[in-house]
Amino acid sequence: MGRRYERAEFLAGEFRAAIAGDPAERPVVVDVADALGNAPCVLFTPPRSGAGRLGSGSVDVEWRVVILSSGPPTFSSWQELDDLVELVEREFPTTSVEPGVYPLVAGQEPHACYVVTIPDTL
């Protein structure tokens, strides 16, 4: 298993443990296939890499954590994400939080989401 995937699993596990028992607790996944039946959820997607090589030491990355709603963008779908955004911001140093849409299934309307950027080093 690669370092990126191992780190995604680690971060997701840390986040799961941190929010356990919180009223806003929702599934935390690292595979988009697991997000399909679990939205609203928090999806740790592969990170964007900065300069450097994984094989020769550390590299700066940006995790793009996708906080997915249970459906297309509506006022209520954005509202259901507010508490999850706050949980992610509480547990990780974030550099941005951007609203967006995420296509979970081809040919279906995309889900409302927030994309939270988290800096890290692998």
Confidence of residue 5 (pLDDT cuts 50, 70, 90): confident
By the 10 Å C-beta count (0-12 exposed, 13-18 middle, 19+ buried), 65 is classed as buried
pLDDT for position 92: 94
Go through the chain and tell me how many residues it has.
Answer: 122
In this predicted model, what pLDDT tens digit does every residue of 69-94 receive, in sequence order?
999 999 999 888 998 999 999 999 99
**Confidence at 62, pLDDT banded by 50, 70, 90:** very high
pLDDT for 100 equals 95
The class (CATH top level) of 3-121 is alpha beta
Q: What is the pLDDT of residues 6-58, one digit of tens each?
A: 989 999 999 989 988 887 788 999 999 999 889 899 999 888 886 555 555 67
Per-residue model confidence (pLDDT) at position 50: 64
Q: Longest Cα pair distance anywhere in the chain, in angstroms? A: 47
**Mean pLDDT to the nearest integer, 61-65:** 92
Q: What band does 101 get if pLDDT is binned at 50, 70 and 90?
A: very high
SS3 40: coil
Residue type, 24: A
